[in-house]
Structure 1
Amino acid sequence: MKKIIIGDHLIKSFGEGDERRNVLGGVTVEIEKGEFVAVMGPSGSGKSTLMFALSGTDHVNDGKVLFDGKDLSKLGENELADMRRTQMGFVFQQPTMLKHLNILDNIILPSMRGSRRNAAEITAKARALMQRVGIAELEKRDMTQVSGGQLQRAGICRALMNSPKIIFGDEPTGALNSKSAQEIMDLFSEINAEGTAILLVTHDATVAARTERIMFMRDGTIVSELKLPKYNGTDTDGRVGQVTAKMREIGI
């Protein structure tokens, strides 16, 4: 299967001289088109830094990232921004939305810039996505008038507006209760089943167990991987057990 992302010997450092510290210590990783992947590890292990490097959101000190065959280091800031906006989607633990805009406007705003579609087309796409994820009735509400789970659904809608090739999620269920987290993971599973690759950073074994491959990080390196069959809605406890057993085995 063709690779959507290749990260080759990625090194990311902070500080200078004796204070210099590698957050990524030569990480090599490949993500296939349509793959569902999780990255796990303790705080400070480099999980989020790896995600930011693979998405071109942050520059590395050494190594290179190929996205769909394009070397991100060869792209200017505007080209990188356009690539992230049109080919990648992002879902964070706390969706970054503007308080003075309602939910619908927050969803469509990033898609308006540089789009060849007119406002009516973009709005129609947003409303269709909101209908799909069960928040169609909330379009006029502002972000303080919805629950955390509803706000995260809006964030997923925004991430899907430009039909991305991959969605990056940084602890996307971290602020949700277990029921809302399960509903969000159900949405991710549906999106992945339609062919969109997903890379999730998480500390939650229940979330990771819904993916197909888990990369475990410690001290800026990938120390182990666990592959699972595609999730079919059954044996959730067994999958979680495999993840937690692997975590104990490698000591994270």
Structure 2
Amino acid sequence: MKKIIIGENTVKSFGVGNEKHNVLDNVSVYINEGEFVSVMGPSGSGKSTLLYAMSGMDGIDGGKVSFDGRDLSALSEKELADIRRTKMGFVFQQPTLLKNLNILDNIILPSMRDNRKNIAKVTEKARALMKKFGIAELENRNITQVSGGQLQRAGICRSLINNPKIIFGDEPTGALNSKTAQEIMDIISEINTEGTAVILVTHDAKVAARTDRIMFMFDGKIVSQLQLNKFSGADLDERIKKVTEKMQEIGI
């Protein structure tokens, strides 16, 4: 299976002098095409930093990160921005949508630079995504007129507008109640089933249990991994048990 992301001995440091420490300490990772991966660990273990490094949102101080065969550190800021816009999608705990745009315009925004002559086509796609994920009636509302779950669905629609090869999620269910979190995970699982790779940072064993593989981080290192089969739905309780047992074993 082809690897879409390869991180080799990646290092990311913060601080200066005696206060300098490695948030990523020679971390090597890979994500296969179409794979569903989660990253777990205590606060400060480097989970989000790893996510930002693998997506090129944050530079690294050592090692190498390749995306789809390209060394991210060798690219210009414009080239990096183009890759993130056209090949990657991002879903955060708090969707970063613009207050001065309605929901529909927020969703199509990432496509506007490359599709100014095809606004109608992009809008049609955005409406199809909104219908698919149950927010079709919200296109003219602003972001203060919808619920957190609806806002997260809009963020997911935006992340998919350019047909990305991979979705990066940083605690995408962290601010949601359990019912809405399950609905969002259903959507993300469906996206993965359709062929898009997904990597999520999460503290939630229920979320991690729905992924194919879990990487556990501690003090800037990946200390263990847990391989799970494709999620069937019926085996959730057993999967959660495996995840929590591994968390207890590691001490997180």
Q: Tell me if both proteins adopt one fold, taking TM over 0.5 as the criterion.
A: yes
Residue 118 of structure 1 aligns to a residue in which SS? Answer: helix
- What amino acid does structure 1 have at the position aligned with 2:7? G
The residue number in structure 2 matching 1:121 is: 121
What is the percentage of aligned positions where both structures have the same residue? Answer: 72
The residue number in structure 2 matching 1:51 is: 51
Alignment of 1:79-98 (within 5 A): 79-98=79-98
The residue number in structure 2 matching 1:139 is: 139
User: Structure 1 segments of 4 or more deviating over 2 A?
Assistant: 114-117
Residue 200 of structure 2 aligns to a residue in which SS? Answer: strand
The residue number in structure 1 matching 2:103 is: 103
State which drifts further: 231-240 or 212-221. Answer: 231-240
Per-residue Cα deviation, 1:59-79 (whole angstroms, up to 9, x for no partner): 000001110100001100000
CA distance in 1 between counterparts of 2:98 and 2:35 reads 31
Residue 186 of structure 2 aligns to a residue in which SS? Answer: helix
Unaligned runs of 5+ in 1: none
The residue number in structure 1 matching 2:198 is: 198
The residue number in structure 2 matching 1:211 is: 211
- What amino acid does structure 2 have at the position aligned with 1:72? L
CA distance in 2 between counterparts of 1:135 and 1:32 reads 31
Per-residue Cα deviation, 1:32-82 (whole angstroms, up to 9, x for no partner): 000000000000000000000000000000001110100001100000000
CA distance in 1 between counterparts of 2:64 and 2:113 reads 28
CA-CA distance at 1:110 after TM superposition: 1.7
CA distance in 1 between counterparts of 2:167 and 2:248 reads 29
CA distance in 2 between counterparts of 1:116 and 1:61 reads 37
CA distance in 1 between counterparts of 2:156 and 2:46 reads 24
CA distance in 2 between counterparts of 1:97 and 1:185 reads 20
The residue number in structure 2 matching 1:182 is: 182
CA distance in 1 between counterparts of 2:117 and 2:148 reads 30
| Conserved? CA contact 2:110–2:162, under 8 Å | no
CA distance in 2 between counterparts of 1:250 and 1:99 reads 42
CA distance in 2 between counterparts of 1:7 and 1:104 reads 35
Alignment of 1:137-176 (within 5 A): 137-176=137-176
CA distance in 2 between counterparts of 1:59 and 1:115 reads 29
| Conserved? CA contact 2:209–2:236, under 8 Å | yes
CA-CA distance at 1:114 after TM superposition: 2.7
The residue number in structure 2 matching 1:20 is: 20
Cα distance 1:117–1:64, how it changes in 2: closer, same or farther (>3 A)?
A: farther
* Pair 1:232-2:232 in alignment: yes
The residue number in structure 1 matching 2:247 is: 247
Residue 96 of structure 1 aligns to a residue in which SS? Answer: coil
CA-CA distance at 1:238 after TM superposition: 1.1
CA distance in 1 between counterparts of 2:99 and 2:194 reads 32
CA distance in 2 between counterparts of 1:178 and 1:117 reads 41
Unaligned runs of 5+ in 2: none
- CA RMSD in angstroms comes to 0.8
State which drifts further: 32-41 or 93-102. Answer: 93-102
- What amino acid does structure 2 have at the position aligned with 1:224? S
Per-residue Cα deviation, 1:172-222 (whole angstroms, up to 9, x for no partner): 000001111101111111110111000000000000000000000000000
Aligned residues: 252
- What amino acid does structure 1 have at the position aligned with 2:75? L
- What amino acid does structure 2 have at the position aligned with 1:71? D
State which drifts further: 108-117 or 180-189. Answer: 108-117
- What amino acid does structure 1 have at the position aligned with 2:65? V
